[in-house]
């Protein structure tokens, strides 16, 4: 049994790398093909790197969109009230500011008007926060769609490079007059790994709210 294993190990040592086969053949066409294979492989690796980066960025956008969506869903009533009251609050603020300039006949009345303006500003800020969150959510949705389109286009290019490499390796085998055995691999192609989705906790939602203010 041990002898058999030793024989298999000895047989495995006889397999030669593509570079060794090309060097032994001293075939100009094989050398040119190898240069083209290296060039296409390098460009493909660049696409894979770009693809991974876009998937990572889209993952963050998707998680941020989910967090804002959940936040707005839990404050749907406030969002609807904000949409209805935003115009009214802005008009009220303008009227109060005008009243200070024209109707503040005493210091006490002026202080009362200033207090009402501050209260109106607080309500206006709260209303605008939900409006801005909704606007930001829609913008993020557009970013996600853009990333998704670019990812699909890049993935298509990667498949085109795969087909090109298959063609080049087939030509190389023909030039070197070698057959591809079942256990022999023509070249290692890096495949994009499944995207790991980031997570956002409740503290992150508070940060998102601050971003839109």
Mean pLDDT computed over 62-86 = 86
Q: What is the pTM of this model?
A: 0.64
CA distance 196 to 1: 45
18 is a domain residue: no
What angle do the packed helices 202-212 and 107-176 form, to 10 degrees?
110
87 is a domain residue: yes
* Domain region containing 202: 29-212
Q: What is the pLDDT of residue 75?
A: 81
Q: What is the pLDDT of residue 106?
A: 78
Confidence of residue 188 (pLDDT cuts 50, 70, 90): low
Q: Assess whether pLDDT exceeds 60 at residue 184.
A: no
Q: Which of 21-25, 68-72, 81-85, 193-197 has the lowest mean pLDDT?
A: 193-197
15 is a domain residue: no
Count up the domains in the chain and report the number. 1
* Closest to 198 (Cα-Cα) out of 68, 72, 61, 69: 61
168 is a domain residue: yes
Contact between 89 and 123 (Cβ < 8 Å): yes
Mean pLDDT computed over 39-49 = 96
Q: Assess whether pLDDT exceeds 90 at residue 45.
A: yes
110 is a domain residue: yes
Of the two residues 206 and 45, the one the predictor is more confident about is: 45
Q: What is the pLDDT of residue 81?
A: 80
Conformational region of residue 139, where left means phi above 0, alpha means psi within -120 to 50, and beta covers everything else: alpha
35 is a domain residue: yes
Of the two residues 147 and 3, the one the predictor is more confident about is: 147
Name the DSSP class of 183. T
Instruction: Find the largest Cα–Cα distance for the chain.
Output: 111
Q: Please list, in sequence order, all residues whose beta carbon lies within 8 angstroms of the beta carbon of residue 68, skipping any fewer than 6 positions away.
A: 133, 136, 137, 140, 205, 208
8 is a domain residue: no
20 is a domain residue: no
CA distance 120 to 69: 27
Contact between 104 and 183 (Cβ < 8 Å): no
């Amino acid at each position: 049994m041990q002898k058999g294993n030793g024989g298999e190990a000895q047989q495995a040592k006889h397999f030669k790398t593509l570079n060794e086969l090309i060097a032994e053949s001293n075939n100009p066409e094989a050398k040119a093909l190898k240069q083209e294979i290296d060039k296409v492989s390098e460009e493909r690796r660049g696409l894979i790197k770009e693809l991974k980066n876009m998937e990572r960025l889209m993952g963050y956008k998707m998680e941020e969109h989910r967090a804002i969506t959940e936040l707005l869903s839990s404050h749907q009533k406030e969002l609807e009230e904000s949409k209805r009251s935003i115009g009214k609050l802005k008009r009220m603020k303008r009227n109060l500011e005008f009243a200070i300039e024209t109707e503040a006949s005493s210091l006490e009345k002026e202080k009362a008007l200033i207090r009402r303006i501050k209260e109106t500003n607080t309500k206006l800020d709260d209303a605008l926060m939900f409006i801005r969150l909704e606007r930001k959510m829609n913008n993020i949705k557009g970013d996600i769609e853009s990333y998704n389109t670019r990812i699909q286009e890049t993935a298509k290019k990667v498949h085109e490079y795969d087909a090109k490499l298959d063609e080049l390796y087939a030509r190389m085998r023909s030039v070197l007059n070698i057959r591809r055995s079942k256990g022999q691999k023509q070249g290692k192609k890096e495949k994009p790994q499944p995207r790991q989705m980031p997570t956002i906790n409740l503290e992150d939602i508070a940060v998102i709210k601050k971003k839109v203010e």
